Amino acid sequence: MKNPKEGFFIGRIKSLKYAFKGMWILITTEDSIKVQLSVAFIAIILGFLLDISAIEWMLQFLAIGLVLVAEAANSAIEEVADFIHPEFHKKIGKIKDIAAGIPTFAALTSLIIAGIIYIPKILVFF
């Protein structure tokens, strides 16, 4: 509950604290986030090696962010679903399947972006 004596600035700092705590929980506990961060690291190295443009860097970071946000949303939805109904339930299963589609859309979009950026640069070598 919000303390009425706290000002706007203090409230925002506390919000940031919770946000970074959430990021840390995702990074340290969610395998899907760990995998996506590894893929992002590889993409960043490729970006340096193949000297991508500023616009390509922006698109790449937007794609990385999109995938991480989608994975985080999926993880949060699954946590809520498991909390509400820990045993198997057909409806909860459907909700979790739909939630799993969120990062799938994001990952497919990021693969298209990566293809547009990197395929022409790689074809130059062949």
- Tokens at 122, concatenated: 């790689």
Q: Tell me, what's the pLDDT at 125?
A: 82
Q: Tell me, what's the pLDDT at 1?
A: 58
Distance, in Å, from the CA atom of 91 to the CA atom of 80, rounded to the nearest integer, reads: 13
Three-state DSSP at 51 gives coil
Q: Residue 81: CB partners within 8 Å, gap ≥ 6?
A: 92, 95, 96, 99
Question: How would you classify residue 38: left for phi > 0, otherwise alpha for psi between -120 and 50, otherwise beta?
Answer: alpha
Q: Tell me, what's the pLDDT at 39?
A: 97
What is the residue-level pLDDT of the chain in tens, covering all 126 positions?
Answer: 566 677 888 888 889 999 999 999 999 999 999 999 999 999 999 999 999 999 999 999 999 999 999 999 999 999 999 999 999 999 999 999 999 999 999 999 999 999 999 999 999 888
| Total-model pTM | 0.88
As a whole number of angstroms, the longest Cα–Cα distance in the chain is: 66
Q: Tell me, what's the pLDDT at 58?
A: 98
Q: Tell me, what's the pLDDT at 12?
A: 87
Burial zone of 29 (CB within 10 Å; 0-12 exposed, 13-18 middle, 19+ buried): exposed
